[in-house]
Chain A
């Protein structure tokens, strides 16, 4: 079945960097964009950006632009998200999700499914 499996929890100090991985299985990896979303403790969902495994094209949210880099490794069907210059407010659960959709004569359709299990990042001195 279609599955996204993320790397394990991380604890980092302020100013450090972290790289979270998201390994895809059960579908053609290069056919779907992968999005990254985070959720601070007790808060809602925040989109961080996306990457096309086919082209390497990326788009980042303004809030993390300049500190985030998303990459892919097509040999292992893995997407990576690196976040640098970590701050305490980067502490959150980070999720990857497959961006799926299509266009037909009736219109265009888009959704995020499935989601990875999440990776907890704790930034603390």
Chain B
């Protein structure tokens, strides 16, 4: 299964709403779809698991939704620290992990 993220780059200002898309090449279980955030020079960190569950400590301005083949990460009001690269991740069968190519959210 291939995960395609769009757009490649999102240019926004602090306070604006960000909508990131992750599309799977075939229908997937939402329980296996997550979102990661990666800042320059840092390891990825889990934001959202199971399509819509915020990981511990993640602010509620981050929200995930979707089902089937189309999934969305929404940042309701961008804070300066939210400018980063976001990846969707998928657990597959046989047991393995697939990642989207990433969406860069820039100022």
Tell me if A35 and B97 are in contact (CB < 8 A).
yes
Tell me if B46 and A111 are in contact (CB < 8 A).
yes
- List of A residues within 8 angstroms of B95 by Cβ: 50, 59
Given contacts A109-B32, A110-B91, contact A61 B96 (CB under 8 A): yes
- List which B31-80 residues lie within 8 A (CB) of chain A: 31-32, 34, 36, 43-46, 49-50, 55
How many A-B contacts are there with CB distance less than 8 Å?
A: 67
Expressed in whole angstroms, the minimum distance between the Cβ of B27 and any Cβ of chain A is: 14
Cα of A97 to Cα of B43 in the assembled complex, Å: 10
Tell me if B34 and A108 are in contact (CB < 8 A).
no
The verdict on A117 contacting chain B, using a C-beta distance below 8 Å, is: yes
Tell me if B98 and A95 are in contact (CB < 8 A).
no
Chain A to chain B contacts (Cβ below 8 Å), 6 pairs: A37-B97, A45-B44, A45-B87, A108-B31, A109-B49, A112-B89
**Chain A residues close to B by CB (< 8 Å):** 35, 37, 44-47, 50, 59, 61, 95, 97, 101, 107-118
